[in-house]
Amino acid sequence: MTDGIRRRWRALPPRARVLLLVHAAGFLEGTGWHAADLARRGPHAYSSFPLAIQVFFVALVVLDPLVAVLVLGARRAGAPSAGAVVAADAFANWFVNWSWLNADWTRLLRPVGLLPITLFALFVLAASRPLWRALSADPVVAWAASIREDAPNGPVEGRNDHGSQPRPNGAHR
């Protein structure tokens, strides 16, 4: 991790850190599923679906980890990107599963498939506004509140709060 990422993570409240980790885990898990589908069945893994959805599901192999990187980097763009990608993913899954659900609604209750995608989408969308606020907070102000107890107190030697140099007698302007 670079210092910038560490500083952004330290500036976040613990709840926001947990939200970011859950987001990243969910998107990386989605990457794994789509990559496994492509590894097993090749580029035509979703050939029974409309072309736009086929392209989108293949694109998720790139989009999901991209969102995970934005989220793990504590970037502001991570929250809206996560919301957009998961909303589109949930919509596409509901669209392709709709006829199966009409035939047997209990498919929705299966632990793999539409249920976890829907629950994750609801979680990400519900968390997007609080996460956006946490990621949009002024990092300097937030970082100052998280300074370690063992950090030196007071101004840096030879400078005051405004960066001016002291006068020869030690007084500042």
Q: Tens digit of pLDDT for each residue in 63-107?
A: 999 999 999 999 999 999 999 999 999 999 999 988 887 778 777
Question: Between 100 and 16, where is the model more confident?
Answer: 16
pTM across the whole model: 0.74
How far apart CA 5 and CA 31 sit, in angstroms, is 23
Axis crossing angle, helix 78-103 with helix 51-72, rounded to the nearest 10: 140
Ordered alpha helix ranges (H), 137-165: 139-145
The pLDDT, as a whole number, for residue 142 is 47
How far apart CA 156 and CA 153 sit, in angstroms, is 9
Q: Is the pLDDT of residue 2 over 70?
A: no
How far apart CA 166 and CA 70 sit, in angstroms, is 43
Segment 20-69, tens digit of pLDDT: 999 999 999 999 999 999 999 998 899 999 999 999 999 999 999 999 99
Segment 108-166, tens digit of pLDDT: 777 777 899 999 999 999 999 999 999 998 655 544 444 455 555 555 555 555 555 55
The pLDDT, as a whole number, for residue 131 is 94
Q: Apex CA 96: angle with CA 116 and CA 62, to 5°?
A: 65
